[in-house]
Structure 1
Amino acid sequence: MANVDGAWDCVIKSPLGDQKAVLTVNSTGGSFVGNMTGAMGAMDVEDGKVDGDTLSWKMNLKVPMPMTLDCTARIDGDSITGSAGAGAFGSFPLTGTRQA
């Protein structure tokens, strides 16, 4: 299993511009807990899963409108790449690096 734990400086490229946030990951076996905190507030990770070097999770967005984001990301060393799915609004690229 890849080392997925830590704090990740992330950017989600959304229609509202680049959304910078910190994703925290604390894994136990095939699951993880954590949160994502940025300018639009904090969201807890829900249903966090770890499969090798791949994470998947959901977050309930409150601003600018309530919706559930379905996220997946792959860890490669100190880099994270993936996407945040926003239902009918599409999917937005997620990239980032592990904090030192």
Structure 2
Amino acid sequence: MPSNSVEGTWDLIVSTPIGKIEAVAELRNQDGVLTGFAHGAGETVPLTDIVLDGDRLTWKQAITKPLRLNLAFTVAVDGDTMTGTSRAGRLPGSKVTGHRRVARAGSEHRP
């Protein structure tokens, strides 16, 4: 995996004014294009407009729980960690931290 790869499963914590929200982001490279989904609050949503520029990763996602919001993420990726912000429209940005899950030897499953 290249050093600038963001592929994998990421455990995220978004620190919002209403408390910390835990989510999982899955990022994959399909034919040279980054794709992904986020899981949290009982729903799974697609990630859109995913762009990796050096160590800067951005994406958008629409959620319906706990509120209906369109979120825009901007994070810096350093190895297996990411830090940055998530913004919902004009609301203040929320701090985002994430850690990539490390696959255990022999536990990786590929369809």
What is the TM-score normalised by the length of structure 1? 0.88
Aligned-residue offset at 1:27: 3.1
Give the number of the structure whose alpha-carbon radius of gyration is greater. Answer: 2
- Kindly indicate whether structure 1 or structure 2 has the higher relative contact order, using CA contacts under 8 Å at least 6 residues apart: 1
The match for 2:28 is 26
Matched residue, 1:61: 63
User: Mind listing any 5+ residue stretches in structure 2 that lack a counterpart?
Assistant: 103-111
Q: Contact 1:4–1:53 (CA<8 Å) still a contact in 2?
A: no
Question: In the superposition, relative to structure 1, how do residues 86 and 20 fare at CA in structure 2: closer, same or farther (>3 Å)?
Answer: same
Higher strand proportion: 1
Q: CA RMSD in A?
A: 1.6
Equivalent in the alignment of 1:95: 97
Once residues 91 and 48 of structure 1 are traced to their aligned partners in structure 2, the CA distance between those partners, rounded to angstroms, is 19
Contact 1:47/1:57 (<8 A) preserved: yes
2:90 is paired with a residue of what secondary structure? helix
Q: Tell me, what secondary structure is at the counterpart of 2:4?
A: coil
How far 1:39 moved relative to its partner? 2.4
Instruction: Give the superposition deviation at 1:89.
Output: 1.8
Give the Cα–Cα distance (whole angstroms) in 2 for the partners of residues 24 and 53 of structure 1.
17
Give every structure 1 segment of 4 or more consecutive aligned residues whose post-TM-superposition deviation is greater than 3 Å: none
* Counterpart Cα distance in 2 of 1:40 and 1:88: 25
User: 2-side partners of 1:8 and 1:38: how far apart?
Assistant: 12
Q: State, as a whole percentage, how many aligned pairs show the same letter.
A: 32
Unpaired segments ≥5 residues, structure 1: none
Q: Residue type matched to 1:53 in 2?
A: D
Superposed displacement of residue 40, structure 1: 4.5
8 Å contact 2:41–2:66 — kept in the other structure? Answer: no
